[in-house]
């Protein structure tokens, strides 16, 4: 056999007329351009390695910034809590009593509007039950 020539293939038992052609390929709808995903990626050419690296570094820096911010906020909150706790412990008994009385006054001021709203709701419930009872008696 010489180089570049193919060996002869044995004849097949089927004739060429009984062979079926491959099915036609589906065609895209008219006017359909590239999808938005491929358009965003540079008209279907894909993303280059440099772009992927840039995206990865940007994501890494953003994640570090977010984690640092959350961690720092937690530390600050903890420090403020410790300082407030230390301040309360160092207060004299008279100052503690004064602070507790002030807090009690704040809570009492919040209590009246809540009790008023609860009373209104109970009155509406009573009125709706009475109205419902009148309808059942007719």
7: Cβ contacts below 8 Å, ≥ 6 apart:
1
Q: What is the pLDDT of residues 8-39, one digit of tens each?
A: 665 555 555 568 888 888 876 676 555 555 55
Which segments within 19-134 are labelled E, that is strand? none
38: Cβ contacts below 8 Å, ≥ 6 apart:
44
Output the pTM of the full model: 0.35
User: What DSSP state is assigned to residue 91?
Assistant: S
The domain locations on the chain are: 46-90, 96-138
Determine the average pLDDT of the residues in 114-125: 95
CA distance 121 to 128: 11
* Contact between residue 99 and residue 91 where contact means Cβ atoms under 8 Å apart: yes
Q: What is the pLDDT of residues 36-95, one digit of tens each?
A: 555 555 555 688 889 999 999 999 999 999 999 999 999 999 999 999 889 888 888 899
* Contact between residue 134 and residue 126 where contact means Cβ atoms under 8 Å apart: no
CA distance 75 to 68: 10
CA distance 53 to 59: 10
């Amino acid at each position: 056999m010489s180089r570049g020539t193919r060996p002869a293939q044995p004849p097949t038992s089927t004739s060429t007329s009984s062979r079926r052609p491959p099915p036609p390929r589906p065609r895209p709808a008219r006017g359909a351009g590239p999808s938005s995903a491929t358009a965003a990626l540079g008209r279907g050419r894909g993303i280059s390695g440099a772009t992927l690296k840039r995206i990865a570094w940007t994501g890494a820096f953003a994640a570090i910034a977010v984690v640092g911010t959350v961690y720092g906020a937690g530390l600050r909150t903890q420090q403020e809590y410790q300082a407030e706790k230390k301040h309360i412990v160092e207060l004299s008994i008279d100052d503690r009593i004064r602070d507790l009385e002030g807090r009690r006054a704040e809570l009492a001021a919040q209590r009246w509007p809540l009790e008023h709203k609860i009373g209104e709701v109970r009155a509406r419930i009573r009125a709706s039950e009475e109205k419902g009872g009148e309808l059942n008696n007719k």
